[in-house]
Structure 1
């Protein structure tokens, strides 16, 4: 298996190379690149890897710019310190998303997933998309959020969150037990990070958990009025353009 590494931190790239070769002795590292520009140049010049390990934030921009400039046909394992890019990663040939600092087990598991994907396509002429996505991303979104409150860090499990909302230009977690926590991420970043099957962005201010929805009523001008099991300071209205998508999401359980 021919592999290239796209990583702007040389020490991290070397560590990644060592872990790859230990986990897959038959692999060969055929190139290492530190920027979007050098990666695009190499891939345009005919470098043909079987797999790419790629950092998200490179010296001259986000790695997703690479996909806009050159066609990448092989699978990609993203290695990054940031988890908010996972959705875009899986839209860009991503087969795994490894958070730094990664371990030998993390890299070995990523390589195993690549092999499973290869076997999957060899065994099935027409792959089932749902089955494939389950193999690629079994976690289906973030399972917890790190929060800071009362001078202490703690984690909030995603299943305990009734909804996220914007209040006074800050993003809040509101749990089913009515605890509240402030987040540093924007609501857009959170929407991309959580499971789209579990949460729905009803409007610009609210992202709600399916389990928090009590009932839905028709409202004026073909809008929907969403009532939650917890009282909200604002009336949750879904405009007519988004109503069909919301009802389809509600039904697709």
Structure 2
């Protein structure tokens, strides 16, 4: 089976490629990595692929730009950092999706799903899903979060949240005025409900609001540290996940 990975981040494509090479769900004969819309268009004009893994945003454009140039009849699994709305769209119109950063088990599950339903892939529905995402409404994001505080309920606006911190099975909200509250959700699920314009999941423990970032320090190309405002009670360094450094820099440069 021939596979193409359309991904402009080296660490992300290498991680995906390494798992595909050692998994045993499907037999892989060749993996091609394409880093841009331009490369993808040129490649798919000349080659037929059995399965495609595709990121939404690429260095020179978006995945939708590829489909405006050519038709790709191959089943597609999207690898994305998008939110709840996008995930609902992917569930309805595509083979499957992987939400960054993903675990090896999630990729194995997506491959198993591909084996079962690969014959039902519909290119028109895939293009429709991308078009829906590009034209989504900001109202799909959660704006208020209800927490318990003693005998009271408090509704916290998203603009008042400095960060979400995962600790074991618990999730805490830290507010800009220095308070912290236990919230009934997980860090893996809450990221899908937040507006990515303001929130970024920097690692498996922290989701930061842009206003909480005081300083970003690059120690090496693979080690980026974030200094946060004093209202977040954290003595240990907050490091950006290696696989998310490129996305984090893009997010800061919007």
Tell me which interval the TM-score lies in, with the shorter structure as reference length: 0.3 to 0.5
Superposition TM-score, scaled by structure 2 size: 0.47
Ranked by relative contact order (alpha carbons within 8 Å, sequence separation 6 or more), the top structure is 2
How does the TM-score come out when normalised to structure 1?
0.48
